[in-house]
Structure 1
Amino acid sequence: MFKNKWKLLIIGAALLLVGGIGFGLTFNNDNVDRGEAYHREWQLADGDISLVKLMGDQDMRVNVTESTTGKSYVTMNGHLSQEAINRLDKSVKANQDNLTIDIENKQEWFSFLEFQIYGEQTVTIHVAKGAKLGELATNLSSSDLSAHDVTAKMISLKAGSGKIEASNLTADTTVVTNSSGNIDLKNVTSDLEVTNGSGDNEIQGVNGDKLSVASNSGDIEVKSVTAKTTTLTNGSGSIDGEQVSGAVKVDNNSGDIDLSGLNDAASVNSGSGEVDLDFSDLKKDVTVDADSGDVNIEIPTSFAGFLDLRSNSGDIKSPNIKTSSKTVVKVRTGSGNIKIEQ
């Protein structure tokens, strides 16, 4: 019996050694296709730009800046296969009020043990003074996306698998969608809708009427949010928020909920996990429904409403409050303690 184990260990070690040698040989310079360097520039029509759409499966960095020539145009550079560059030149039509760029790798075959590493493609949208960008849209199948300093009426950032990173976004509406990968957003002045299949979501600095973040699996973290309504929904993972101003609705199936800087109505539904809420002001009703987990709420000393607290299995601790308002803090737990501090 022990001899068989030793044989298996020796065979496993040999396979790891062979695999390591193969990996090293595969990633030598002769087996890596780094593409051809290119630089392209496309002039746009005078006046407002209706749409710039970017598609493909390569990492992409997007910036919007004011043109210094008095004309609107788009520049793009990086490394791609010669086939992709040729197709790019044929497909992009300049001197229009819209531009669609598709750099998806459509080669049918690739050499065995040859890897394509083209790096990041850089796209800069130069908008003439006085002109406006209607929509910036991306649809990347499997790559990272970085977008910065974008002002448009509509911003739509979509990736299939890869990280989405964006900052300084200004729009009426911004929609960010990722199937699998982290989302990192900073300084968004817009209504914001974020949907992620699997990956962590970090959002800092939002100013708009609505913020909505939904994730199937992954942590949600929001900071410095000023919105009329904030909706945070998670299937599995923690939900954390700091300085969240406005009405808040939270639904978490599995994971802790920790929110601070609250100052408006709040509705929290927790399947499994601890709930911690900290209010800087409390003049609207608060409802917490937790199946399993402790609930801890910090309320301001000025609160003079009702405390409606019930737990099927757990202790309840709360201050004595002289009631003079109709505001209600209602907490229900299936299994867990309830603690209210003032």
Structure 2
Amino acid sequence: MSSAGTSSTGWQEWTPGRYRLAEGARWVDGRLVFVDLLDGDLYSCPGDRPGEARREASLGLPLGAVAPVRGRPGEWIAAAGTGMALLAGGTGDSPPGPLPAPTRRRATEPGGVWSAAIRAGRGTVEQGAVPPSGGRDPVARGADPGGATEPARGRVRWLARPEGGAATAMRMNDAVCDPAGRFWATSMDTGAARAAGSLWRLDPDGAVVRVLTGLTVPNGPAFSPDGRTLYLADSARGLVAAYPVEPDSGALGPGRRFAAVTGADGRPDGMAVDDDGCLWVALWGGGRVRRYAPDGRVLDEPAVPTAHPSSVAFGGGLMFVTTARHRLERPDALAGAVLARPSGVSARPAAAWADGRDRGKESGTTPW
């Protein structure tokens, strides 16, 4: 590192904290939000200058990613534990930076392979709706396979736990909203059992649909600016697939192999799509972020000064990358840091979930 926390590759430490598994970088209302996945913490930090990250909420169970809720600032739709929940920040008295990890059963990851259906370019599409569980269930009762052992900070309202009744211990992983306001969340076995994971869709009316099965460590997902293409990675197999999306219903067409990442290049992890329709993929284990044209050509591959970049986002003339200490026997000085560098690339802010369940939503309040 050179002076002022800037590396020779142009990356700057955006927060002083080091996180076990920082993921889910999103640009929201002029700031960066991200999660420390295994510790279940949601953070935000300024978008215009480096500084301390504020811990917005702490669930005490795995928190894969969040998206804003349309028209309700400070509220989030979260992929957490075995399902989806509405999350509001705590009282603001939480100290910045990572907390000591609580004692809990830890989720593990990569292993397994991409499903045969996706390899063949078909995908497994199901339209079986799952009834939402709803209610104001406390997060930390120890009943969730994510393994909570301490109470949540912030308010949580569970909407559905579609993986709660699975035969093996499951957890949610990555998630994102599409431009139409639907929330897409992935799930995986906590031991990364082959083909145990799924892609779920939470519609604005609260219906939960299992869209894809046969995934192992699903990451991404990411949408083209017009919402007509979904990109989804399976890190275990090293593949990124692309699916056509029917804009009105959210139904997926047949998938196709978009890109493969193997060997020393690492594995595809978090992704983002820029305003030119190009896909950016964080290469876990490869120490790089790769930009693909819509036709799959590699256009750029900036190096990241640590081995495990985990997600990527754009905002305020910057490219942000989260990184991880997880699975590194000897973490380097920047492992687990949130990094930023100037960028001429722009992308839309994170899309919001269009909650259409409550008649009182126009008031900007939630019936907690």
TM value normalised by structure 2: 0.21
Rg larger for:
1
Structure showing greater relative contact order (alpha-carbon pairs closer than 8 Å, 6 or more residues apart): 2
> Comparing both structures, which one devotes a greater share of its residues to helix?
1
> Comparing both structures, which one devotes a greater share of its residues to strand?
1
TM value normalised by structure 1: 0.22
